[in-house]
Amino acid sequence: MPHTTREKTKLINRVRRIRGQIEAVERMLEDEKSCAEVLQVIAGARGAINGLMSEMIEDHILLHVAAGDLAQKDRDDGAAELVDVVRAYLK
């Protein structure tokens, strides 16, 4: 996946923040925090995952489907990959 170093770093930082949110859920459960508090953190983590997925889908479209220098076969392959991922994500 041909991302620039800046984009790669940005994505990895997002994943690390998500990991922190999930670890916070684990700690909250261990500490028997209230359901409402845990649900808030879970909702935040879900939003972060959705944001990461959205950014990755956008990058995939721009780099593997819509890029002007791609051969039609590469575009078709990129589109098919995207359809498979979106279907799995929406299940």
Q: Give the pLDDT mean for 25-31.
A: 98
Q: How far is CA 73 from CA 2, 56, 61, 78, 87, in A?
A: 18, 21, 14, 9, 21
Q: How far is CA 36 from CA 45, 47, 59, 68, 81, in A?
A: 14, 16, 35, 48, 38
* pTM, 2 dp: 0.82
* pLDDT of the residue at 3: 61
Residue 75 CA to residue 91 CA, distance in Å, equals 25
Domain 5-90: state its class: mainly alpha
* pLDDT of the residue at 23: 98
Residue 55 CA to residue 67 CA, distance in Å, equals 16
Tens-digit pLDDT profile for residues 57-85: 988 898 889 988 999 999 999 999 999 99
Of the chain, the percentage scoring pLDDT greater than 90 comes to 74
